[in-house]
Amino acid sequence: MEQHDHSSSPHDAPHTVSYVTYLLIWLALVMLTGLTVALAGVDLGRWIIITALTIASIKTMLVLEVFMHLKFEDKTFRLFVLVACVTFAIFITLTFFDYAFA
């Protein structure tokens, strides 16, 4: 099996991800996209937003962790991504203080 060696900067320890893993993650992303499309036709009321955002968040995490190699990075990088995610979550929550109570 071919392996992809990723060691872009000298301070990073070399790490490898097999193409099987990439393929499985890709399949998971396609399935989750299919699920989102299927759920769009089901009347879930207010839960539709939460469901769609949950699926989108899982897909994002898969891309970040595996394709973008976040799981191999040190704590500083993971913290930076966490800050971005938390900020985004706060933006959405505060926006829904308007929509949910309108």
User: What does the binding site for another protein look like in residue numbers (CB under 8 A)?
Assistant: 76, 83-84, 87, 90-91, 94-95, 97-102
Q: Cβ of residue 85: shortest distance to another protein, in angstroms?
A: 10
Closer residue to another protein in complex, CB, 30/90 = 90
For the four alpha carbons of 100, 83, 72 and 64, in that order, the dihedral sign comes to positive
CB of 18 to another protein, least distance (A): 30
Angle at 26 (CA atoms; ends 60, 9), nearest 5 degrees: 70
Helix, strand, coil share (%) of the chain residues, nearest 5: 70, 10, 25
Shortest gap between Cβ of 87 and another protein (angstroms)? 5
Q: Which is nearer to another protein, 2 or 98 (CB)?
A: 98
Distance in angstroms between the alpha carbons of the first and the last residue of the chain = 56
